[in-house]
């Protein structure tokens, strides 16, 4: 099993459109050595379909859990992450294409 350099943890609550924009920006990364952990925090409008759309394009896991807020949801994701470094993004982030390359070079 490949251990990725970065684990990206994203708590999400009723924001499938935002998650789609975030995941699309992650597909354009120049450094692909990362996994994505989506933690659905008790949403009534889930992002599961968006996750399925990106499952073949990213190393990504999707979890649904009862609502507890963004902090506990991030912790839930951290517990399941396998990367060397953890990065938490909110669902409304759009990541510049050289983000992981820049972090890795630093």
Give the DSSP letter of residue 49: H
Summarize pLDDT for 12-37 with one digit per residue, the tens.
999 999 999 999 999 999 999 999 99
**Up-side HSE of residue 65: CA atoms within 13 Å toward CB?**
18
Structure tokens at 45: 């409008």
87 burial class (0-12, 13-18, 19+ CB within 10 angstroms)? Answer: middle
Pairing of strands 34-41, 60-65: parallel
| Tens of pLDDT, residues 31-59 | 999 999 999 999 999 999 999 999 999 99
Tell me the Ramachandran region of residue 22: left when phi exceeds 0, alpha when psi lies from -120 to 50, beta otherwise: alpha
Record the pTM: 0.94
Chain Cα centroid distance, residue 97? 15
């Amino acid at each position: 099993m490949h251990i990725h350099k970065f684990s990206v943890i994203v708590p999400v609550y009723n924001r499938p459109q935002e998650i789609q924009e975030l995941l699309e920006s992650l597909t354009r990364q120049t450094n692909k050595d990362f996994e994505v952990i989506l933690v659905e925090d008790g949403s009534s409008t889930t992002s599961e379909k968006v996750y399925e759309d990106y499952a073949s394009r990213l190393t990504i896991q999707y979890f649904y859990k009862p609502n507890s807020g963004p902090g506990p949801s991030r912790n839930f994701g951290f517990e399941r992450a396998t990367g060397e470094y953890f990065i938490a993004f909110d669902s409304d982030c759009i990541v510049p294409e050289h983000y992981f390359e820049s972090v890795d070079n630093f």
